[in-house]
Amino acid sequence: MTQRTIEKYGMFDPADRVLVAVSGGKDSLALWDVLLRLGYQAEGMYISLGIDEDLGYSDSSLQMCRQFVSGQHPGATLHVVDVEGEYGQSISTLARTKQRGRGKPCSVCGLVKRHIMNRFAREGDFAAIATGHNLDDEVAVLMQNTLHWQAGYLARQAPVLEEREGLARKVKPFVRIYEREAAAYALVRGIEYIYDECPYAKGSTTNFYKELLNQLELRSPGAKQQFYLHFLQARDKGAVSFAVEEAAELHPCRQCGQPTTAGDLCAFCRLWE
């Protein structure tokens, strides 16, 4: 199924180098495993965020990635970027400072992850960044975007996001794989992964939609696949279209050179300033 998805959406070829974003969870490690077994040049990239240092969440997820390499694919390359080591503060500390101790660190975390992944993929000349988003993830996001009629997000939600002006290509080879299938695959392959989600994912809106969709799937098996695939087909055929504002122009950030739509400094550099 993964091979078919890669071919159907023209994600990458065996000659391409692909950077797999790994978190130590089942989806990303299963994806990395599948890509390596299919013969793709897939290198892993782990970003050590420093989340909940006291509980050691980030440390244990890195350990899972290292264990995966030594146990399953000793020749595979795992790149590790330590946010605190590289920039001086962990995500938890940075978010606490920026948000004065209020709210979850997710927006800061997302921004930092996107920036680091993109820079690493561009500088390393990777053909694409592959993420372990599965069908359940995609359907939950689709439902959320549909309920709020987020035209911009609906227009862009796709298995492949093409490269543009300094932004690396992004692909999701697991979009047809159910979450439980990824978990079953990891189990069968003896891949150890971190069971707990990031402590900040608990109670998230996405998880709420996932629960709703699980109930729907119980009553109507196949409903998730249909919702997602029919949406992609309808949009590709032009049966539904979304009036989207022209994408804002990108220009290089004065400090880091990464593309930004903001002023002369990108959001990442402003965050650290």
Q: Which residues bind ligand Q46 (CB under 6 A)?
A: 51, 104-106, 109-110, 198, 200-201
CB of 182 or CB of 198, closer to ligand Q46: 198
Least separation in angstroms between residue 107's CB and ligand Q46 is 8
Least separation in angstroms between residue 204's CB and ligand Q46 is 7
145 vs 63: CA distance, rounded Å: 35
Q: Residue by residue, what is the 3-state secondary structure of 129-146?
A: EECCCCHHHHHHHHHHHH
Residue 106: which of Zn ion, ligand Q46, none does it interact with, CB under 5 to 8 A by kind? Answer: ligand Q46
CB of 206 or CB of 241, closer to ligand Q46: 206
Least separation in angstroms between residue 195's CB and ligand Q46 is 15
Residue 63: which of ligand Q46, Zn ion, none does it interact with, CB under 5 to 8 A by kind? Answer: none
Residue 256: which of ligand Q46, Zn ion, none does it interact with, CB under 5 to 8 A by kind? Answer: Zn ion
Residue 200: which of ligand Q46, Zn ion, none does it interact with, CB under 5 to 8 A by kind? Answer: ligand Q46
Closest by CA position to 170, among listed 218, 133, 214: 133
129 Ramachandran zone, left/alpha/beta (phi>0; psi -120 to 50): beta
CB of 198 or CB of 269, closer to ligand Q46: 198
Least separation in angstroms between residue 266's CB and Zn ion is 3
Which residues have C-beta within 8 Å of that of residue 131, sequence separation ≥ 6?
20, 21, 28, 31, 170, 171, 172
CB of 17 or CB of 98, closer to ligand Q46: 98
**E strands of the chain, at which residues?**
17-21, 41-48, 78-82, 128-130, 160-161, 170-171, 251-252, 259-260
Least separation in angstroms between residue 72's CB and ligand Q46 is 23
> Reduced to 3 DSSP states, what percent helix, strand and coil does the chain have, rounded to the nearest 5?
50, 10, 40
- Contact residues for Zn ion, defined by CB under 5 A: 253, 255-256, 266, 269
